[in-house]
Structure 1
Amino acid sequence: MLDPEVVSQLLVRRRRDDPLRELTPREREVLSLMAEGRSNTAIARILVVSDGAVEKHVRNIFTKLQLPPDEEQHRRVLAVLAYLGS
């Protein structure tokens, strides 16, 4: 039988190791649509929300996936790759 404290620590560590687990269901939905190649405007139309709402979700996704602005890397592509690799 496993010690409940050990199991708890493993689960906490696993959650920390996978930043995708930090995303809300809506952020996951937005990321899924990003993975389909949809623009923010198209995502807004599909989800029946404003472009601003989608932009907020995308910013939150970048933050939670620890993807700061970088001139040499495309954060949207990196976020989608993380999603597809999960």
Structure 2
Amino acid sequence: MTIQTAPDRLLVAVQTRNELDAALDQALEILKPVAMTERVGILVTRLAPGRYEARLNAELPPGTTRESWGPFSDEPR
């Protein structure tokens, strides 16, 4: 499991399904304080198998976490 930070997002990469929940939970815990301060939501997007992106999203209400499949998907799954 790896979590890489970028200026506006966290990139999460896992090798197994067993690592996924813990990795995404860790990414959300990193972003939650900033999201609360900025009063925005968090969007988690599946980029590819084993690769995810978590970023702040001003279009989501504060306290909301939304999941999306694919970088261009507007529809949560």
> TM-score band (shorter)?
under 0.3
Question: Which structure is higher in RCO with an 8 Å CA cutoff and minimum separation 6?
Answer: 1
Rg larger in structure: 1
TM-score, with length taken from structure 1: 0.25
More strand by share: 2
More helix by share: 1
